[in-house]
Amino acid sequence: METRHFLTLSDLNTGELGVILARASELKKERKQGVQNDSLRGKTLAQIFEKSSTRTRVSFEAGMTQLGGNSMFLSPRDTQLGRGEPIEDTARVISRMVDVVVIRTDAHEKLETFAQHSCVPVINALTDLFHPCQLLADVLTYQEHRGDIKGKHIAWVGDGNNVCHSWMKAATLLDFQLHIATPESHKPDKAIASVCKDHIEWTSDPNAAVRNADVVVTDTWASMGQEQEKQERETIFKDYQVNQVLMSKAKTDALFMHCLPAYRGSEVTAEVIDGPQSVVWDEAENRLHSQKALLEFLLT
């Protein structure tokens, strides 16, 4: 059987995504009820992180433990990867020893190279191009609060970045409309936009994107690796802040989402992220439940 990877949301079809989300809800319920689940007993996860992480790392590690498995964290500083051992060789070696590998890196091609040489499933824990695990949690969160996301109007405001690209893929798989507002200079990737064209609409005007929206989503203006541009980006994106005035243009019961970490006073005001429309803590918690379901899907 061919090894299944999860490098982008397109590695799943709509039905499979539905199965994973339904299982995530079940696992969440079971955890609240204190039900013990050993579905991944004896399995080992290796986590390779070339960038910082709080949510992704903790949720994968806790998730493996909760399902009876083990996980190890590998920083490039401590492995031979950091001293120049080729990705291909690292993939061949690690994948002969563990059952699944989670990778957070910069270039998406590095992740693809690893997956090509891995004999076990590889999961994308964020690259410069995509963050598919985030979308499992975000869609689950929407469903919990509002039901089916099909046909809904989601507004993305800010940078056309990795998380935005995964929202674009989700729109295509789950048949909702993503209205994207970014500065002309920071539009999403053209190739991804062309694949998702039937489910996305771009504008440079945040007010137009959020008008009548069911959800308003944003993310940091300076992603990991763009720290030197932080100052310049504050200027470029200053009209794209999600504040109460912008939120008031969306539906009255619109949700506010953010993958976190958030920078209050930049891409979002404290009033919005800490206010009644915000579901960011549910999104963060749902990383755990949805990734446990993903691990089970890939491993059992």
- Residues acting as catalytic residues: 104, 131, 134, 219, 259, 287
Write down the least CB distance from residue 89 to ligand CP, Å: 27
* CA 102 – CA 48 distance, rounded (Å): 6
- Binding segment (CB under 6 A) for ligand NVA, from list 144-152, 178-186, 220-228, 247-255: 220-228
The residue from 219, 267, 283, 296 that contacts ligand NVA (CB under 6 A) is 219
Residues in contact with ligand CP, shown as a per-residue x/- string from 68 to 97 under the rule CB under 6 A: ------------------------------
259 binds ligand CP (CB under 6 A): yes
Burial of 138: CB neighbours in 10 Å, binned 0-12, 13-18, 19+: buried
Residue 283 binding ligand NVA, by CB under 6 A? no
3-state secondary structure labels for all residues of the chain: CCCCCECCHHHCCHHHHHHHHHHHHHHHHHHHHCCCCCCCCCCEEEEEECCCCCHHHHHHHHHHHHCCCEEEEECCCCCHHHHCCCHHHHHHHHHCCCCEEEEECCCHHHHHHHHHCCCCCEEECCCCCCCHHHHHHHHHHHHHHHCCCCCCEEEEECCCCHHHHHHHHHHHHHCCEEEEECCHHHCCCHHHHHHCHHHEEEECCHHHHHCCCCEEEECCCCCCCCHHHHHHHHHHCHHHCECHHHHCCCCCCCEEEECCCCCECCCECHHHHCCCCECHHHHHHHHHHHHHHHHHHHHC
- Choice from 54, 203, 212, 248 touching ligand CP (CB under 6 A): 54
Site map for ligand CP, 189-228, x if CB under 6 A? ----------------------------------------
53 scored as a contact of ligand CP (CB under 6 A): yes
Of 177, 104, 90, give the one whose Cα is nearest residue 134.
104
Residues 118-147 that bind ligand NVA (CB under 6 A): 126
Per partner kind, with CB cut-offs from 5 to 8 A, the member of ligand NVA, ligand CP, none near residue 157 is: none
- Residue 99 lies near ligand NVA (rule: CB under 6 A): no
Among 90, 162, 277, 290, binds ligand NVA (CB under 6 A): 162
**Nearest residue to the partner ligand NVA, using Cβ:** 223
Instruction: Find the binder of ligand NVA among 139, 163, 209, 268 (CB under 6 A).
Output: 163
Among 5, 43, 55, 152, binds ligand CP (CB under 6 A): 55
What are phi and psi for residue 258, nearest 5 degrees? -160, 135
Q: Which of 141, 223, 278, 286 binds ligand NVA (CB under 6 A)?
A: 223
- Kindly tell me which residue out of 98, 247, 259, 288 binds ligand NVA, with binding defined by CB under 6 A: 259
Q: In whole angstroms, how close is the CB of 168 to ligand CP at the nearest point?
A: 17
Given the rule CB under 6 A, which residues bind ligand NVA? 126, 161-163, 219-220, 223-224, 259
